[in-house]
Amino acid sequence: EAGVTQSPTHLIKTRGQQATLRCSPISGHTSVYWYQQALGLGLQFLLWYDEGEERNRGNFPPRFSGRQFPNYSSELNVNALELEDSALYLCASSSGVQLMNTEAFFGQGTRLTVV
């Protein structure tokens, strides 16, 4: 069974540009989480989607946005890129709100570098 897949693996953008990161969850999973892992700051929660809806959002500016498609894959968009947006972006999927104790499975991340 395929795990959580993220694309691209690496992404280099210049300041002011837009970046689009993609995530395909494990088959059958309806929840997708996005995290930013900047150096020394651990995992900062960005967004949580379940069944196509945004369920929760972390403390990030509106230029961080995303969506979840009918097939439960997800996209994270970062507009007007700033240098401090450089980080590893991790996507995780889980079974959704039906199971409280559900484990989150992570992708290998997209390394975004803003120059």
What separation, in Å, do the N-terminal and C-terminal C-alpha atoms of the chain show? 37
* 12 is a site residue for another protein (CB under 8 A): no
Compute the Cα dihedral for 90, 48, 75, 72 and give only its sign: positive
Window 28-47: contact mask with another protein (x via CB under 8 A): ---x-x-x----xxxx-x--
Side chain identity, residue 114: V
Rg (CA), the chain: 13
What are the φ and ψ backbone dihedral angles of 85, each rounded to 5 degrees?
-80, -10
Determine if 53 is a binding residue for another protein (CB under 8 A): no
H-helix or E-strand spanning residue 53: strand 53-57
66 vs 109, beta carbon nearer another protein = 109
Q: Which of 19, 23, 24, 48 binds another protein (CB under 8 A)?
A: 48
Does position 66 interact with another protein (CB under 8 A)? The reply is no
2 binds another protein (CB under 8 A): no
Q: Let me know: does 31 contact 53? Beta carbons within 8 Å.
A: no
Give the binding site for another protein (CB under 8 A).
31, 33, 35, 40-43, 45, 48, 50, 55-56, 88, 90, 92, 97, 100-101, 103-104, 106, 108-109
